[in-house]
Amino acid sequence: MEVIQIEGGYPITGEVRVEGAKNSALKLMAATLMAPGINELTNVPNISDVHIMAQVLEELGAKVEVKGPHDLLIDTTDVNTWVTPYHLVAKMRASTAVLGPLLARFGKAVVAMPGGCNIGARKIDMHMLGLEALGVNFVVDHGNIHASAPNGIVGTLVTLEFPSVGATENLLMASVHAQGVTTIDNAAREPEIVDLANMLNEMGAKISGAGTPLIEIEGVPELHPVSHRVVGDRIEAGTFIAMGGLVGEPVTVRGFDPQHLGLVLKKYELMGLTVEREADGVTVWRTGPIKPTDIQTLPYPGFPTDMQAQTMTLLATAAGDSIITENVFENRFMLAAELNRMGADIRIEGHHAIVHGVEGFSGAPVTSPDLRGGAALVMAGLVADGYTTVSAIHHIDRGYESFVEKLQSLGAHVERIAAPDEL
């Protein structure tokens, strides 16, 4: 077992480049199931979730070849089963993304109930309700979801109760070969949805409206393999931007579209951060105190739930009180208890966190509660007195490539070490 150890109090400044988006790459990998042949994905992050998705595809009969540090060749010619292995799916909620592609290719699928971060209920029922409208039957048995479309997938209007990213993606992929036209109303609008629709269109699909609440898919008989570049990771970018804002020295983050973080950057400017936007990134710094600011998470283009933990860490040292309202996941305040161990003053009331700003953090042994919370604890350690040791860093490895090395390149005193005996 390894931990990340941070010695606080050192300036971090310089330039860092983010990888391709985890939340896009995983779905694009799943989508290759629908285009038999050799697909190429470039700008793929080298992270544990991607390795797990590659194993899922290989268990289904695909061949996955690492062509370069960030390039994958995925040959889906010989995919011959529609049953996904529980031991892999349980590790990662995004593995349910194969449900739509398998239904599109085989008209049936068996997928285990999802795992991943312990941040709230997985509303897989929303996926199932949407797919049922397209003619898919479901049986849940022994923790597995058995899906079949005995009469084929038939296009219709599907209205989502909530703009769920996963449900939108599964409906998008399942309906590519549907008879007639499928319309998804109240669709998720995230940049990763647009990236998926763009790749499917390059494969020969007929999708319009991605990035808006109304997506139309006209069924086509087949798709062909393509080469596609994964969009830059706005959440990894936001994490380094938050770090730059916390420490104060200029940090330049490249490799993503700043428009994808529109509301986050506006909120950070309200907090007293200076944000200089460029075509492929931003530079951020701060000269005055962090100003208290209220945040509420909402589906895109609202404030992303995946940036809530990093923002809580910023606001924990603000000059005043802030309220964070979490509207997406019900268990996403587990970070607060760990930050309080470091001297923060955060009180949880239902889906609100009342953050009373303190002068600074004290180094302490803490545990990553989830992917973004783990990164936020490392971030707090950068400005804490003394040493902070973050354990359960497998969460961080799920979404951040070369996290420690990138921080070191900015001047942080941080390293991965074997876990001390007393942890």
> Which of 117, 207, 339, 414 is the catalytic position?
117
91 marked ligand binding residue: no
Four-CA torsion 18, 20, 24, 29, nearest 10 degrees: -150
Is 117 labeled as catalytic in the residue annotation?
yes
93 marked ligand binding residue: yes
Q: Distance between CA 381 and CA 4 in Å, rounded? A: 10
Q: Distance between CA 156 and CA 133 in Å, rounded? A: 7
Using alpha carbons only, give the angle 188, 192, 193 rounded to the nearest 5 degrees: 40
3-state secondary structure 224-268: CCCEEECCECHHHHHHHHHHHHHHCCCEEEECCCHHHHHHHHHHH
Q: Cα Rg for the chain, rounded, in angstroms?
A: 21
In 3D space, the residue among 380, 379, 376 whose CA is nearest the CA of residue 358 turns out to be 380
What kind and span of H or E run contains 169? helix 165-174
Q: Distance between CA 250 and CA 240 in Å, rounded? A: 11
Binding-site residue numbers are 22-23, 93, 306, 328
For the annotated catalytic residues, the residue numbers are 117
